[in-house]
Structure formats: C-alpha cells, structure tokens
Amino acid sequence: METIIVLVVLAALAFYLVAIYNRLVSLKNRFQNAFAQIEVQLKRRYDLIPNLVETAKAYMSHERETLEAVIAARNQALAGLQAAAKDPGNAQAIRDLGSAEGSLGSALGRLNVVMEAYPDLKANQNMMQLSEELTSTENRVAFARQAYNDQVTAYNSYRQSFPPVVFAGMFGHDQDAALLEFDDSAEIRSAPKVTFS
C-alpha cells in the first residue's frame, strides 16, 4: 500500500521536476533564438561600417586616427558578437559584446562630430545613403535587443522564482542570463546622421 502511495507521490514529483526542467530549457531556447535576430542586425551594421570609413577616407585624410579608431572598435565588436553568438547563455560574453558595442558607438559619435567640418562629405550621395542605412539598422538593433531582453527577463525571473530556484542550479541553469545593454545607448542613437534640409 505504502509503496503505491510512494510511487504516485514520486511520479507527481518527477513530473513537477521535469516540467521545471523543460520550462527552463524552453525559455533558454527562446532567448537564444532571439539573439539570432540581434546577430543578423549587428552583422549588417558591421558590414556597413567599413564602407562608411572607406567613403569618408577620400574626404578626410587628416582624420586618420578617428577612422582607425572606428575600424578597431568595429573589429572588436565583431569579435564580441562572434563569441556571444556561440553561447548567448554566457553572461560574460554578452557583457563584453555590450561594452564593445558601447565603444563602437562612441567611436562613431566622434566620427560624427569630426564630419561636421566636411560639408562635401556630408553632401556625398553615397555617404548619405550609408548614414541613412546605418540609422535604420540602429533602430532594428534596438528593437531586436528589446525582444531579446524581454526573453532574458522572462528566463531570469522564472529561474529565480520559487520553487524553480531550488532546482535550477541542479539542472545546469545556475546563472542568470545577461541583458544586452550598450554602454552608451544615447550616443549610438545619434550615430552619423545627415540632416536633409
């Protein structure tokens, strides 16, 4: 008799644990899938930047340092993206990507300031198009980032809730996933912008 009761209780417990485990896996899957969306957009952004620098080079040969800083920051951010894409569950990789993105944002911001002194460059058709595309990509990145952060928040808050918090570590979900924050979001939003007036 006791065996039967124990069995049924065991079964119920097992289901509960399996349910927690599955929920964790599925929430993790979801934020990792959401990261793919960011990856697509960031890649597009990183592909645009060399073209932008190439176009700018023709006009501003004296600003080599600024341009090189942009390229260096872009390369670092690209490396950060590749590392994060391999394992979006790795909080450190996400934070690294966030700060690399932040530096890239400020490098672009400086370029933007410098460009003010070159009205020819600003009027360049190619440049206008690139800036326009870059701005629209920023918006896409921000949107994808919002989706990602929403999913990460859902994962983290489930992981920290009771009772899952008791078992999460056992199931290999011992760490909160990191929100993707760019250090200098304000500056990014004002990345090279050409006013059409």
Partner 1 sequence: MDFFGAQDDARRKTWRLALLFGAAVLSLVVLTNLLVALVYGWAANHTRPAAFDPVAMVAALPAEYWAWISLGVVGVVAMASGYKYLMMRRGGRAVAEALGGRLIPPSTTDFRERRLLNVVEEMAIASGMPVPPVYVVEEPSINAFAAGHSPDDAVIGVNRGTLEHLNRDELQGVIGHELSHVLNGDSRLNLRLIAVLHGILFIGVLGRGLLYGVGRGSRRRSGSSGGAPALALGLGLLVIGYAGTFFGNLIKAAVSRQREYLADAAAVQFTRNPAGIAGALKKIGGLGSGSRMRTAAAGEMSHIFFGAAGRMTLGGLLATHPPLEKRIRAVDPHWNGEFVVPAATPEPAAASEAAPEAAHAAPEGVAFAAAPLPSGTDGASALEVHATPEALAATVGRLDDRGLAEATRLIAGLPAAVHDAAHDPFSARALMYALVLDDSEDSRKSQLEHLARHAEAGLPETLKRLLPAAASLDEQQRLTLVEMAGPALKQLSSRQYRTFMDNLAALITADQRIELMEWVLHRLLVKELAPHFGAPKIRRGASGHGPDPDCVRVLLSALAREGGRTPDEAEAAFRAGMAHMGLEGEFDPRPDPDFRRLNDALRALRKTAPLKKPRLIKACAAAVTADGRVSVREGALLQGIAAALDCPLPPAIYRA
Q: Does 15 bind partner 1 (CB under 8 A)?
A: yes
Residues 6 or more apart whose CB falls under 8 angstroms from that of 12 comprise none
Q: Is 4 in the site for partner 1 (CB under 8 A)?
A: yes
Closest contact distance (angstroms) between CB of 18 and partner 1 is 8
Number of residues that bind partner 1 (CB under 8 A): 39
Select 65 or 139, whichever has its Cβ closest to partner 1: 139
Give Cα separations from 14 to 4, 136, 176 (angstroms): 15, 49, 24
Q: Which is nearer to partner 1, 83 or 142 (CB)?
A: 142
Say how far apart CA 165 and CA 178 lie, in whole Å: 17
- Region of 17 (left: φ > 0; alpha: ψ -120 to 50; beta: rest) is alpha
- CB-CB contact of 130 with 9 (8 Å): no
Q: How many CB atoms lie within 10 A of CB 7?
A: 10
Give the C-alpha separation, 98 to 82, whole Å.
13
**Given 36, 72, 117, 123, the residue binding partner 1 (CB under 8 A):** 36
Q: Which position among 18, 79, 123, 170 is part of the footprint of partner 1 (CB under 8 A)? A: 18
In our burial notation (b when 16+ CB lie closer than 10 A, e otherwise), range 147-170 reads bbbebbeebbebbeeeebeeebee
Q: To the nearest whole angstrom, how small is the minimum distance from the Cβ of residue 63 to partner 1?
A: 28
Among 17, 21, 40, 159, binds partner 1 (CB under 8 A): 40
Give the footprint of partner 1 on residues 129-168 (CB under 8 A).
135-136, 138-140, 142-144, 146-148, 150-151, 154
Determine if 185 is a binding residue for partner 1 (CB under 8 A): no
Nearer to partner 1, 66 or 149 (CB): 149
User: Peptide bond preceding 163: is omega within 30 degrees of 0, i.e. cis?
Assistant: yes
Q: Which parts of this chain interact with partner 1 (CB under 8 A)?
A: 1, 3-5, 7-8, 10-12, 14-15, 18-19, 22, 25-26, 29, 32-34, 36-37, 40-41, 135-136, 138-140, 142-144, 146-148, 150-151, 154, 189
